[in-house]
Each structure stands twice: as C-alpha cells, then as structure tokens.
C-alpha cells in the first residue's frame, strides 16, 4: 500500500475559513482582476472599486476542499486546473466555461502556469493509470499539445522562466512504499519541456517535499522553492533558492507556513508571506530577507506594475485583499467580502449563469452577508451540507448564441445588496450527480497534498 505524501494544508480540507487563494491580473487590461476564492471567484473590472462573484461549481471545482490553480493568458483566456480536468473561459467575464478535448479536459490537472508575457499556458496532468503529462497551449485558441510524458514521478508544480521559455521546471516527489525514505526532485528542462534532467533535493529532518514556487524574471536559472514537512502549521519551513537551475540550493529564509512568493520585474525585490502572520522582503534577489510587516496574514502574493497584491485572513486582518504601494510596509484594503454586490451578470444559459444561482445561499453565507439569506435557509459555510453535497445543475451542452448576451433577469436586490440571478429555462436537465468525490480516502489525501498548497 502506498504511503502518500501529505502537506500541512490538509488541515483546512473541511470547515475552512472563507478566503482568497490567488490573484490574477489581466495582462493587457489594467484594472481587470480575478480573485480565486474558496467559494469560487471575485471579479472586478475597475481595479477593485466594485466586485461581483461567481461560484466554484461553474468551473467543476468542489468548494469544500479544492483550491484550483488558475492563470490568465494574453489572448484573454482563463485557465483553471481542477480535479476533473482543465477548464477555460474566453471572455473577460468568464461566464461560458469549456474544456479541451481528450485527457486534459477530463483528468486530474495538478497545476497550470504561463510562459513569458502570458503567451502560453502550461498544464500538468496526473493519470493514476498512465503517465503524468506536461501540456502547453498552441497557437490555436483552446488547444494544447503534449510536450512530455513518462515522468515516473508524482508531479507537483510547473514554472517557466519569464525571461526564457526554454527553461522550464517541475517539482516532483517519488512514490513512497512502506519503509522507504521520502525523495523529492526538481526536473529541469532547457528545451521548453521536451526533455528534462532530474535533480534530487536533499531533505532535512521531517521534511518530505520540495514545492516549486517561482523563477526569477531576469535569471532563468534562479529558482525558488518551499520545503514542507509533517511538524504542523506553526513549524518553521525553509525557503530555498538555486542559482544553477536546481543543481545546488541555499536556505534563504525560515518561516512558518510560508506558502506565498512574489518577485518584482527586475528580479531584485522578492516577497515571502506567512499565513500565520508576517511579510518578508529581500532587496538582493532573494539572498537575504527582512521582516517588513509582521502583522499581515498572507495567503497569496502577486506583484504587478509596482503594486503588491496580498490575500489576507479576513477574520484577523479585517479584509480579504490588500494592496501595498510601498513594497509591503503598509497595506491598504482593496476588498472586504461584504463589498461584493452580487453575482456577475452572466447570461442565463451560459455555464455560470445556469449553475451559480443554485449556489447563491452558500455564497451569501460564505461572504457573511447573512441578511440576504432566504427565510428558512440552513447555511453550511462550505462544510458539506445542505447544498455542497447536493446535485449540481448540468451546463447547457450547446447554448444558443442569442442567449450569451449581457441580458439577465434579476431578482430585486436584498437588504444586503445581493442580487440573485434567476436562470431562464435553457432546455437542460438537473441530474442528481451524487457526491462530487468518489475516490478512496487515501487517494483523496494524496490529491489534497498535491493541490492545496498554492
């Protein structure tokens, strides 16, 4: 029987707090923001002045425990990595969701990333019955090609050097049987992912896994990683840096649950954040770090156009998204969940427009807009009942083109300002799909360990 690699983030699998997990900024349209969240997404087209929501189920994501990777490519397509395959949306407002043909649209997608300038998307597919596969998008919108297979390892994350797409890296672990030590690797490619060299990373103490976090924007051989173990969320974890593409490593910081990293365009300013509190900054390209803000609880970091976007702990920090214009020393709130005004105005027969209204009660509760709950609603906050284990509406297989316009029929706004979109009939049934998760429990633990550390 396999002894599966786990990560401390597994403790958040059920009854987890509502939070943002990833910030995406449109490559060519400043002010367009997608904040991936435990309930789905928060969307803004005016740089955070106003916000609306979409549900996770529209992207085939289970909100109880799945924190999907997501990227925005320069062609405007949103790519979301889910347990049920890669999902894509082609508009700035991601209402209509589709999937690429073949395995990539059906299998467990571990991670998704972009190349320089967001020109290409890269995705890792895990197949328990076959080899894991690295895919990259082609010049044809929505289509992918397989770059490499036969890895013979459990893949974790993929990152492409922003300054040179020929340099591509994947962190991975080896399948571990009883009595065997943990082994973890960095796979390095210098031909754009066609071939790889395998570099084993030396673990210390109770460490069990190297997680690739970033590649320098200016030095394609400078790689950063986080080393995780079994000692609990409060235990110190190493942030490591390699300047030779993974051949050798140096420990540059030790911090508890330091899962987030962001790097400035010139590669010299590097930020690392901890969910337990603390934002560290390096002005030497990651060689040395100083604690610049001890109070903010960091769940994700994104650097863009001179600003640092920070996902926070809304219960402890009082807001869900903050922005710093002085490189982390002060943080200004950009989103409090109570400011999300309603569901995004998706056409009623689009994927999100058809599926998300059924999740309105859950999302309202998750956002703590309790006054907007319908009378008699039994909120679950994403813990599994009553709605999260119920049947999911099936999206329209071939929505009529005329139904994809901006018109929607909306219920009157509630006293909390939430507008519930009422879907019109679009000829779709609502089958009882049963529980979203039917894997053996041990397999589920392994999947969470590979996906939840974002």
Tokens standing for residue 446: 């392994």
Question: Tokens 């309790």 label which residue?
Answer: 370
- pLDDT tens, position by position, 103-136: 999 999 999 999 999 999 999 999 877 788 999 9
Beta carbons of 187 and 151 less than 8 angstroms apart:
yes
Q: How far from the centroid of its chain's Cα atoms is residue 220's Cα?
A: 23
Each residue of 439-453: pLDDT tens digit? 333 344 444 444 444
pLDDT of amino acid 445: 41
- 411: pLDDT strictly greater than 70: no
Q: Is 283 exposed, middle or buried (0-12, 13-18, 19+ CB in 10 A)?
A: middle
> pLDDT tier at 401 (50, 70, 90 boundaries)?
very low
Cα–Cα distance measured from residue 399 to residue 356, given in angstroms and rounded to the nearest whole number: 16
Q: Six-digit token pair at 257? A: 């649950």
Beta bridge pairs of residue 159: 169
* Paired tokens of 396: 């329209």
Given CA atoms 357, 358, 361, 365 in this order, what sign does their dihedral have? negative
- pLDDT band at 291; cut points 50, 70, 90: very high
Identify whether the C-beta of residue 53 lies closer than 8 Å to the C-beta of residue 40: yes
Over the chain, what is the mean pLDDT? 81
Which tops the pLDDT comparison, 102 or 397? 102
What one-character-per-residue DSSP string does 403-432 give? GGSS---BPPP-TTSPBPB-PPP-S-----
Domain segments of the chain: what residues? 23-108+345-454
pLDDT of amino acid 375: 58
How many Å apart are CA 206 and CA 192, to the nearest integer? Answer: 34
pLDDT band at 412 (very low <50, low <70, confident <90, very high): very low
Q: Note the pLDDT of residue 416.
A: 33
Structure tokens at 334: 């950009």
Q: Is 19 in contact with 311 (CB distance < 8 Å)? A: yes
With CA atoms as reference, report the closest residue to 16 among 351, 317, 366, 285.
366
- Give CA–CA dist 54/44, Å, rounded: 11
Query: What's phi and psi for 116, nearest 5 deg?
Result: -55, 130
- In the chain, % of residues over pLDDT 70: 77
Nearest 5°: the CA angle 349, 353, 355 is 100
Q: Given pLDDT bands bounded at 50, 70 and 90, which one contains residue 174?
A: confident
DSSP strands (E only) in 90-235: 97-98, 108-114, 121-126, 133-137, 144-148, 154-160, 168-173, 184-189, 197-201, 207-215, 223-229
pLDDT band at 373 (very low <50, low <70, confident <90, very high): low
pLDDT band, very low/low/confident/very high, at 230 (cuts 50, 70, 90): confident
Which DSSP helix (H) or strand (E) runs through 447? Answer: helix 441-451
**Average pLDDT estimate for 332-357:** 94
Most confident of 26-30, 53-57, 88-92: 53-57
Contact 240, 249 (CB under 8 A): yes
Residue 34's CB is within 10 A of a number of other CB atoms, namely 23
Three-state SS string across 202-268, please? CCCCCEEEEEEEEECCCCCCCEEEEEEECCCCCCEEEEEEECCCCCCCEEEEEEECCCEEEECCCCC
> What is the predicted pLDDT for the residue at 371?
54
Distance (Å, whole) CA 326 – CA 333? 14
pLDDT at residue 394 greater than cutoff 60: no
Would you call the peptide bond into 386 cis, given omega within 30 degrees of 0 as the criterion?
Answer: yes
Name the burial class of residue 418, with classes exposed (0-12), middle (13-18) and buried (19+) by CB atoms within 10 angstroms of its CB.
buried
pLDDT at position 289 over 90: yes
CA–CA distances in Å: residue 373 to residues 102, 314, 378, 414, 415: 40, 21, 9, 9, 10
Average pLDDT over residues 377-402: 44
Report if pTM > 0.85: no
Q: φ and ψ at 357, to 5 degrees?
A: -55, -35
C-beta separation of 318 from 310 below 8 A: no
């Amino acid at each position: 029987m396999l002894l599966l690699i786990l990560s401390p983030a597994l403790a958040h699998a059920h009854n987890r707090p509502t939070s943002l997990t990833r910030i995406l900024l449109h490559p060519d349209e400043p002010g367009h923001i997608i904040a991936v969240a435990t309930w789905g997404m928060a969307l803004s087209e005016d740089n955070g002045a106003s916000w609306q929501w979409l549900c996770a189920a529209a992207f085939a994501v289970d909100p109880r425990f799945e924190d999907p990777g997501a990227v925005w490519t320069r062609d405007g397509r949103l790519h979301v990595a889910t347990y049920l395959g890669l999902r894509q949306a082609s508009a700035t407002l991601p209402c209509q969701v589709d999937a690429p043909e073949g395995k990539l649209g059906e299998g467990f997608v571990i991670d998704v990333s972009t190349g320089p300038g967001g020109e290409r998307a890269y995705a890792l597919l895990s197949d328990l019955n076959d080899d894991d596969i690295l895919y990259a998008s082609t010049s044809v919108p929505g289509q992918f090609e397989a770059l490499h297979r036969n890895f013979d390892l459990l893949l974790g994350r993929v990152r492409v050097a922003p300054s040179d797409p020929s340099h591509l890296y994947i962190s991975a672990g080896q399948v571990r049987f009883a009595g065997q030590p943990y082994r973890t690797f960095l796979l390095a490619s210098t031909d754009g992912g066609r071939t790889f060299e395998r570099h084993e990373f030396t673990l210390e103490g109770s460490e069990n896994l190297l997680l690739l976090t970033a590649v320098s924007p200016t030095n394609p051989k400078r790689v950063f990683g986080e080393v995780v173990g079994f000692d609990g969320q409060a235990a110190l974890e190493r942030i490591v840096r390699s300047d030779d593409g993974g051949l050798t490593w140096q420990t540059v910081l030790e911090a508890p649950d330091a899962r987030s990293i962001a790097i400035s365009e010139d590669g010299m300013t590097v930020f690392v954040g901890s969910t337990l509190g603390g934002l560290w900054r390096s002005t030497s390209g990651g060689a040395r770090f100083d604690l610049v803000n001890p109070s903010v609880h960091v769940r994700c970091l994104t650097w863009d156009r001179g600003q640092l976007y920070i996902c926070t702990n809304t219960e402890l920090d009082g807001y869900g998204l903050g922005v710093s214009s002085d490189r982390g020393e002060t943080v200004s709130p950009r989103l409090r969940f109570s400011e999300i005004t309603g569901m995004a105005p998706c056409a009623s027969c689009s994927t999100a427009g058809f599926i998300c209204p059924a999740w309105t009660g859950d999302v309202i509760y998750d956002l703590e807009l309790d006054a907007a709950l319908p009378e008699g609603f039994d909120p679950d906050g994403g813990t599994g009942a009553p709605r999260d284990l119920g049947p999911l509406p099936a999206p329209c297989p071939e929505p009529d083109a005329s139904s994809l316009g901006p018109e929607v029929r909306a219920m009157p706004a509630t006293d909390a300002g939430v507008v519930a979109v009422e879907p019109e009939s679009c000829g779709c049934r609502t089958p009882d799909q049963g529980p979203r998760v039917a894997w053996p429990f041990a397999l589920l633990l392994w999947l969470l360990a590979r996906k939840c550390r974002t």
